[in-house]
Structure 1
Amino acid sequence: MQGRVKNFNVDKGHGFIEAEGQPDIFVHFSAINEPGFKSLTPGETVDFVIVEGPRGPQAANVTVHRSEDGAPQ
């Protein structure tokens, strides 16, 4: 599934992704497939899957779309 980061609180390590036809989806920093410090920026396009978490649906296997030069899109 594809969506855009709606918000992400770096201090708390979580935020929400918006995807067409879905309610906002919770995302935890541990679900982000990035090396080093894991964070998302509002507006970034991401691929992810929805899994059932302890409090309901949440994003897993989150990958940020990158342009050819490696910059987030």
Structure 2
Amino acid sequence: MPSGRVRWFDAKKGYGFITSDDGMDVFLPAAVLPEGVEHLRKGAKVEFSVLDGRKGPQAIDLTVEAPAPSLVRATRPKADDMVAIVEDLIKLLDSAGNSLRRHRYPADAESKKLATLLRAVADDFDVQD
């Protein structure tokens, strides 16, 4: 049974392509995905059988061997490093809370800095596989 990696897959379009280990591009229709699998990420390792379709080779009998590694999970900071970041963020939020208690928003530069920091920390916590 040939194997390869998902080159791309679009669940909305209902198809994608696999690049087999021997370099051949194989059409991947959504209908051949295993039960319970609705989408595949680029780089997922798959095994499949090949059928000669009207427009070229087409995958059938697909098996997902290994999902693609999460780039976000691989590049996010270590938990020990996040401790210091979260503690500093708490201090900044506490300062912003004190300004708000006095019925004033923090200064524009401080607000932008806080918003940017919140987004960055949220991205580190939000791992989508």
> TM-score, structure 1 length as denominator?
0.78
Structure ranking higher in strand proportion: 1
Aligned length: 67
Amino acid paired to 2:9: F
Q: Equivalent residue for 2:46?
A: 46
Deviations 1:39-65 (A, max 9, x none): 211010001010022322100111111
Superposed counterparts of 1:23-38, under 5 Å:
23-35=24-36, 38=38
| Larger Rg computed on CA atoms | 2
Q: Aligned-residue CA RMSD in angstroms?
A: 1.6
Matched, 1:56 2:56: yes
Matched, 1:6 2:23: no
C-alpha contact (below 8 Å) 1:30/1:38 kept by paired residues = no
> TM-score, structure 2 length as denominator?
0.47
In 1, Cα distance between the equivalents of 2:38 and 2:23?
24
Gaps of 5+ in 1: 67-71
Q: Percent identity?
A: 36
C-alpha contact (below 8 Å) 1:32/1:38 kept by paired residues = yes
